């Protein structure tokens, strides 16, 4: 019995490792969640002073995480909502991995995000409308996933958006045409078999079915 | 003298034998001889009475009992400090032996098969020795055995099926060996068996069926084996006398049968660490005797059954590490004899029921790692005064830590970390004189660290990090003479550290990072703390020099003092800390020569000296730190060359030597650092050429060689660095052409800067493939020729040729050209240029009003009629709209595509032959 008590205590000490950095904590949740066969996240030790010395993480002068460069890193698993806590993040580069599951709506909290690259993964679910809060976003690439549902109309208010790619998904509904969306070409939307054309201005109303 | 002594002893023997010839039977003599022979084979046995000279007292020899006839009936040598084997023990010499107990000794070797000779034995205990090999089949000859224990030896092989012959056995213990399964069907049940253990062996599936017929079992232990599948239902049905059942640490599957209720006499039920699933059946009202219930580390889900409240005798309840997702039932408060309650690591929700305050005998309470919320009422704490361990960490508890916590004077462990406790730490915490582990980190605690904490002289771990604590470190912190870990990082603590902190002689870890501390570090810190291994002062405003004795124990492992205002030299003892793993000194004002500041550090993984005023040179020693993954020394005054030995650091991910005074060439060997992600050498005085070997760095993401004196050409090998996102070669003296291979770096993202060099030739069109590039700078070179673009000349929009700015409207223009070409059967360049003199196509056509559509069309085909003619006219209309000279006037491409598929434009009433091209320019957007 004494052994079990000790064992329990040991477990608590190991599992309950506290750490003092909220951003490091948030990133560490990602490490816990994902499968990392090439050990690219090996340096992600939550007991360190801050996550700024972790490889693939970049901080500003105030030790706040501004970039996460994990493109083409052979990672799989789900994206964690905790990523939404990295409030100074500018670049979230998770492209060309095997991430599954939905895009966490919490990414809409990343007010400083300039680039969101989640292309070439196996993400499912719909594009969270909360991404419309990313007022500094210039690049949004969600192409080559298995995203479904409509393109949230709210995204058209992203005034700084220069590059949009949602091609090669399973999106449906019509393509918004107003605001920043007026400048994107068909290429941004291609290979979404259920995606209808843009709303026409004054001529034909296309059937917007196929989205239910 | 010697001879006479021997003769005397001989005479004495003769005398003794002749005096008692009748009392010593021949069998006793054989038994004595057998015992002495065995004794002589043992190493220094404390069996002085065992001697042939003492034959007369055989029945009084240590551990020997005789029957009436003077023949040995029992050998009891339990815990007699004996070592040796059983090989020399002649079991055949003891025809009347009924009991053999050799337990708790150090006997090794195997169990001799001759053990089968003691056939009238009723009790055999060889437990707690180091006997090895197999259990001999002859054990089956001992058919009178009622008690057999081979517990805790190193026996291996199959359990001999011959044990089935021991039909009188009541107690059978084969636990803690390495036994594997026999063909269980060869073993019949034991009608009298009450106690059976095969615990901690290598028994595999399937379940030993004979057990299910042992109706009289009260004790069954099959724990720590490899049994799988379901627990047989007949176990619950047949073994109704069981009081103790332990099936823990196997791989039993499936839900727990409600037939468990049939084991109504159970006192002790242990099913932990299996793969049991489903809900815990709510049947405990029929098991009133239960004292210990362990179901931890399974996959149970759903509710904690409220019938547990019926278990008035329950002392220990362990349900941790399951998927239970209910609230804690009110009824649990009825189990007033509970001393141990573990519900940790489930998904329990809501607040603690007030009834739990009835559990006044609790010594250990583990509720950690759930989603429990609400306050921890003073009412609980004042009733749980027996607590030794209170673990509430990793939940959602709120409110203040009640001051009643001071009543828990037996408390040894207090873990409240990662909740949302607020308010200040009650000063009463100083009453917990027995506290050894306290972790309150990751809450919202405010106020000061109570001064009473100095009373906790048994405290080994004190963690208060990630709260909102203010004030200073208590002046008498030095009284905590047992303290090994002090972690107050990430608070708003301020002021100077108290001198007494240097008295913490057991200190191993001191973590003060991310506070508002200032002033100097006490001069003696480390001097009296020879075990100090982890030191972090990072992100404060400390000034002055680091104490020279900080690493006087030479055990420093993690040493992070970055982002302070430290000055002066590094402590000399650093050089002797051979287990140094992580060093962060960046962002201070350290000075001094680093050429010789470091020693042999085979475990060094991370070092940053950046942003200081270090001088000296990079020693070749740096090449020996083979585990180094990060080497940063940027923004210092380091001079000399980059040692070629750095090429040995094959684990290196980051190498940053920016902004120093380095000279010489970039070592070719850096091409061996194939794990490298970042290579920064900018703002030095480096000369020579870029080594072609850099092209081997296929994982490299950032390469900055800017602001040096690097000459020669850009090696085309650089095009192999396929992971590059950032490439800066600016402000050097590079010459020659830009290699077109750079266009293969399609991951280039943040920057491609080749400016301020002497590059010549043309810009390779291949660079047009860098579609993700955000910043491109080729300025201040000798580059000539045309700026490349993606497209073909004859189809290029006029503004593109002028501005080189590719827009969607350029594509629309090109589409219009192709569409016209299709209709006209020839390139429409001449036709379009005839229009280009005017600002709009419409204006141009109005100046040439007589051009008929039919003349514009491909003359090799007969003129279209009917619907086709309408279509042709419509297409030309669209194409003309697309080739408008002004980009703003052109429709966008999606619109064009929609129009083509929907064809919503007005129908032409005129026959084709009479339509003038000028009529086709009134296209409405």
pLDDT tens across B486-512, in order? 999 999 999 999 999 999 999 999 999
- Does residue B513 sit at the A interface (CB-CB below 8 Å)? yes
Q: Which of A16, A21, A203 is closest, CB to CB, to B490?
A: A21
Q: Look up the pTM and report it.
A: 0.78
- A53 interaction partners in chain B (CB closer than 8 Å): 584, 606, 608, 630
- A203 interaction partners in chain B (CB closer than 8 Å): 898-899, 902, 904
Question: Is A112 a residue whose pLDDT tops 90?
Answer: yes
Is B368's CB within 8 Å of A1's CB?
Answer: no
- B897 interaction partners in chain A (CB closer than 8 Å): 186, 197
In the block, residue with structure tokens 């269980």: B184
Question: Is A13 a residue whose pLDDT tops 60?
Answer: no
Is B364's CB within 8 Å of A5's CB?
Answer: yes
Contact by Cβ (8 Å): B203, B226: yes
- Does residue B630 sit at the A interface (CB-CB below 8 Å)? yes
Q: Answer with the residue of higher pLDDT: A196 or A27.
A: A27
What is the per-residue pLDDT for B459? 97
What is the per-residue pLDDT for B1? 41
- Does residue B394 sit at the A interface (CB-CB below 8 Å)? yes
Residue of A nearest to B438 (CA): A13
What is the per-residue pLDDT for B18? 44
> Could you read off the pLDDT of B807-817 as tens digits, one per residue?
777 778 888 88
Is B893's CB within 8 Å of A69's CB?
Answer: no
Q: Is B840 helix (H, G, I), strand (E, B) or coil?
A: coil
What is the per-residue pLDDT for B804? 55
Environment class of residue A210 by beta-carbon count within 10 Å: exposed (0-12), middle (13-18) or buried (19+)? exposed
For the beta carbon of residue A166, count every other beta carbon within 10 angstroms.
25
Q: Under 8 Å CB-to-CB from A210, ≥6 apart: which residues?
A: A172, A173, A194, A196
Environment class of residue A6 by beta-carbon count within 10 Å: exposed (0-12), middle (13-18) or buried (19+)? exposed
Q: Which of A19, A53, A203 is closest, CB to CB, to B630?
A: A53
Sheet holding A148-150, edge to edge: A148-150, A170-175, A194-198
Residue of A nearest to B605 (CA): A43
Contact by Cβ (8 Å): A91, A65: no
Query: Measured in Å, how far apart are chain A's first and last C-alpha atoms?
Result: 58
What distance in Å separates residue A185's CA from the closest CA in chain B? 7
Residues 110-149 of A with CB under 8 A from B: none
- B608 interaction partners in chain A (CB closer than 8 Å): 53
Is A16's CB within 8 Å of B893's CB?
Answer: no
Residue of A nearest to B562 (CA): A49
Maximum mean pLDDT: which of A21-25, A148-152, B385-389: B385-389
Is B316's CB within 8 Å of A1's CB?
Answer: yes
- Does residue B197 sit at the A interface (CB-CB below 8 Å)? no
What is the per-residue pLDDT for B820? 85
Residues 582-621 of B with CB under 8 A from A: 582, 584, 606, 608
Is A185's CB within 8 Å of B653's CB?
Answer: no
Is A53's CB within 8 Å of B677's CB?
Answer: no
Best of A1, A3, A5, A8 to substitute, by most chain B Cβ atoms within 10 angstroms, is A8
- Does residue B441 sit at the A interface (CB-CB below 8 Å)? yes
Of B62, B151, B64, the residue nearest B104 (C-alpha): B151
Residue of A nearest to B631 (CA): A53
- B811 interaction partners in chain A (CB closer than 8 Å): 185
- B346 interaction partners in chain A (CB closer than 8 Å): none
Contact by Cβ (8 Å): B432, B454: no
Q: Which of B320, B364, B898 is closest, CB to CB, to A197?
A: B898
Residues 8-67 of A with CB under 8 A from B: 8-9, 12, 15-16, 18-21, 43, 48-50, 53, 55-56, 63
- Does residue B486 sit at the A interface (CB-CB below 8 Å)? no
Is A20's CB within 8 Å of B466's CB?
Answer: yes
Contact by Cβ (8 Å): B253, B226: no
Is B808's CB within 8 Å of A198's CB?
Answer: no
For the beta carbon of residue A164, count every other beta carbon within 10 angstroms.
24
Name the stretches of chain B with pLDDT < 50.
1-3, 12, 14-22, 837-839, 924-925
State the Cα torsion B133-B136-B137-B143 to the nearest 10°.
-140
Cα distances (angstroms) measured from residue B782 to each of B198, B757, B905: 86, 8, 53
Strands B195-197 and B219-221: parallel
Residues 21-50 of B with CB under 8 A from A: none
What distance in Å separates residue A107's CA from the closest CA in chain B? 22
- Does residue A76 sit at the B interface (CB-CB below 8 Å)? no
What is the per-residue pLDDT for B901? 73
Best of A25, A48, A49 to substitute, by most chain B Cβ atoms within 10 angstroms, is A49
Contact by Cβ (8 Å): B583, A53: no
Of B684, B767, B692, B774, the residue nearest B732 (C-alpha): B684
Q: Which of B366, B391, B514 is closest, CB to CB, to A20?
A: B514
Q: Which of B368, B894, B899 is closest, CB to CB, to A185?
A: B894
- Does residue B892 sit at the A interface (CB-CB below 8 Å)? yes
Q: Which of B318, B441, B701 is closest, CB to CB, to A69?
A: B701
Q: Where are the beta strands (DSSP E) in chain A?
A: 57-59, 65-69, 76-78, 91-93, 98-101, 115-117, 122-123, 139-141, 148-150, 163-165, 170-175, 194-198
């Amino acid at each position: 019995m004494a052994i079990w008590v000790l064992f329990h205590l040991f477990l608590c000490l190991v599992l309950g490792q506290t750490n003092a950095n909220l951003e490091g904590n948030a990133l560490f949740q990602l490490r816990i969640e994902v499968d990392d066969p090439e050990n690219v996240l090996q340096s992600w030790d939550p007991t360190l002073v801050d996550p700024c010395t972790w490889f693939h993480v970049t901080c500003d002068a105030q030790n706040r995480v501004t970039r996460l460069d994990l493109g083409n890193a052979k990672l799989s698993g789900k994206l964690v909502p905790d990523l939404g806590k990295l409030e100074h993040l500018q670049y979230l580069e998770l492209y060309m991995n095997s991430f599954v599951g939905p895009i966490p709506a919490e990414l809409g909290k990343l007010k400083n995000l300039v680039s969101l690259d989640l292309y070439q993964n196996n993400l499912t679910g719909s594009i969270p409308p909360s991404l419309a809060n990313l007022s500094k976003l210039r690049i949004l690439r969600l192409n080559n996933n298995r995203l479904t549902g409509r393109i949230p109309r709210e995204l058209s208010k992203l005034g700084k958006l220069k590059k949009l790619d949602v091609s090669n998904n399973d999106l449906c509904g019509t393509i918004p045409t107003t605001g920043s969306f007026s400048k994107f070409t068909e290429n941004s939307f291609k290979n979404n078999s259920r995606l209808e054309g843009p709303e026409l201005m004054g001529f034909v109303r296309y059937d917007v079915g196929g989205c239910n | 003298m010697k001879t006479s002594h021997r003769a005397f002893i001989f005479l004495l023997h003769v005398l003794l034998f002749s005096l008692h010839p009748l009392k010593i039977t021949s069998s006793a003599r054989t038994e004595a001889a057998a015992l002495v022979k065995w004794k002589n084979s043992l190493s220094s046995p404390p069996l002085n009475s065992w001697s042939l000279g003492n034959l007369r007292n055989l029945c009084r020899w240590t551990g020997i009992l005789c029957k009436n006839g003077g023949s040995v009936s029992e050998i009891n040598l339990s815990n007699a400090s004996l070592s040796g084997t059983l090989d020399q023990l002649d079991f055949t010499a003891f025809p009347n032996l009924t009991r053999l107990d050799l337990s708790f000794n150090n006997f090794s070797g195997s169990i001799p098969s001759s053990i089968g000779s003691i056939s009238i034995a009723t009790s055999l205990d060889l437990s707690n020795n180091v006997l090895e090999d197999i259990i001999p089949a002859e054990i089956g000859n001992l058919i009178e055995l009622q008690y057999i224990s081979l517990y805790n030896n190193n026996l291996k092989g199959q359990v001999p099926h011959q044990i089935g012959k021991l039909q009188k056995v009541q107690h059978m213990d084969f636990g803690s060996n390495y036994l594997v399964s026999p063909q269980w069907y060869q073993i019949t049940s034991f009608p009298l068996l009450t106690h059976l253990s095969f615990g901690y062996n290598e028994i595999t599936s399937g379940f030993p069926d004979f057990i299910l017929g042992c109706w009289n079992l009260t004790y069954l232990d099959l724990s720590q084996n490899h049994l799988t599948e379901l627990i047989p239902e007949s176990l619950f049905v047949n073994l109704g006398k069981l009081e103790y059942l332990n099936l823990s640490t196997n791989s039993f599957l499936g839900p727990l049968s409600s037939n468990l209720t049939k084991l109504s006499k159970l006192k002790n039920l242990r099913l932990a660490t299996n793969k049991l699933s489903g809900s815990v059946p709510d049947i405990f009202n029929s098991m009133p005797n239960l004292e210990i219930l362990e179901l931890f580390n399974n996959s149970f889900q759903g509710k904690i059954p409220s019938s547990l409240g019926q278990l008035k005798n329950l002392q220990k309840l362990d349900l941790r590490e399951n998927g239970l997702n209910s609230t804690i039932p009110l009824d649990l408060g009825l189990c007033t004899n509970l001393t141990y309650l573990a519900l940790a690591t489930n998904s329990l929700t809501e607040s603690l029921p007030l009834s739990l305050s009835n559990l006044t005998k609790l010594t250990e309470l583990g509720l950690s790692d759930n989603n429990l919320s609400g306050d921890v009422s003073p009412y609980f704490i004042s009733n749980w005064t027996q607590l030794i361990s209170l673990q509430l960490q990793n939940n959602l508890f709120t409110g203040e830590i009640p001051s009643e916590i001071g009543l828990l004077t037996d408390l040894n462990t207090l873990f409240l970390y990662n909740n949302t406790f607020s308010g200040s730490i009650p000063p009463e915490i100083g009453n917990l004189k027995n506290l050894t582990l306290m972790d309150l980190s990751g809450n919202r605690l405010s106020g000061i660290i109570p001064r009473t904490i100095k009373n906790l002289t048994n405290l080994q771990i004190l963690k208060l990090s990630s709260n909102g604590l203010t004030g200073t470190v208590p002046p008498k912190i030095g009284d905590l003479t047992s303290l090994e870990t002090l972690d107050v990082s990430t608070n708003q603590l301020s002021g100077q550290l108290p001198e007494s902190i240097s008295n913490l002689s057991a200190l191993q870890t001191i973590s003060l990072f991310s506070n508002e501390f200032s002033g100097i570090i006490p001069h003696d810190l480390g001097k009296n703390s020879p075990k100090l291994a982890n030191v972090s002062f990072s992100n404060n405003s400390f000034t002055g020099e680091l104490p020279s004795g900080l690493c006087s124990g030479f055990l420093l492992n993690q040493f992070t003092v970055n982002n302070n205002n430290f000055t002066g030299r590094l402590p000399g003892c650093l050089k002797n800390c051979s287990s140094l793993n992580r060093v962060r000194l960046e962002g201070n004002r350290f000075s001094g020569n680093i050429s010789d500041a470091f020693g042999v550090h085979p475990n060094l993984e991370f070092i940053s000296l950046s942003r200081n005023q270090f001088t000296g040179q990079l020693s070749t020693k740096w090449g020996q730190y083979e585990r180094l993954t990060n080497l940063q020394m940027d923004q210092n005054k380091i001079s000399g060359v980059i040692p070629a030995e750095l090429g040995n650091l094959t684990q290196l991910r980051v190498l940053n030597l920016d902004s120093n005074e380095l000279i010489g060439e970039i070592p070719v060997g850096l091409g061996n650092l194939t794990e490298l992600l970042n290579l920064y050498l900018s703002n030095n005085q480096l000369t020579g050429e870029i080594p072609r070997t850099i092209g081997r760095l296929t994982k490299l993401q950032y390469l900055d060689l800017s602001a040096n004196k690097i000459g020669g050409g850009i090696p085309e090998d650089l095009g192999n660095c396929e992971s590059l996102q950032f490439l800066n070669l600016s402000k050097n003296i590079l010459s020659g052409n830009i290699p077109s291979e750079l266009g293969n770096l399609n991951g280039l993202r943040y920057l491609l800067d080749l400016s301020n060099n002497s590059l010549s030739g043309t810009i390779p069109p291949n660079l047009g493939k860098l579609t993700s590039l955000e910043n491109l700078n080729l300025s201040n070179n000798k580059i000539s020729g045309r700026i490349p673009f993606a497209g073909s000349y004859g189809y290029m929009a006029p503004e593109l040729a002028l501005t080189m700015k590719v827009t969607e409207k350029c594509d629309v223009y090109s589409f219009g050209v192709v569409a016209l070409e299709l209709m006209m059967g020839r390139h429409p360049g001449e036709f379009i240029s005839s229009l280009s003199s005017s600002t709009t196509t419409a204006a141009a056509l109005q100046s040439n009003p007589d051009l008929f559509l039919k003349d514009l069309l491909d003359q090799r085909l007969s003129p279209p009629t009917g619907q086709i003619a309408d279509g042709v006219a419509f297409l030309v209309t669209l194409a003309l709209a697309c080739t408008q000279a002004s980009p703003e006037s052109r429709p966008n491409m999606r619109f064009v595509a929609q129009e083509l598929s929907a064809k919503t434009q007005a129908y032409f009433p005129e026959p084709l032959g009479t339509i003038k091209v000028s009529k086709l320019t009134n296209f409405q957007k």
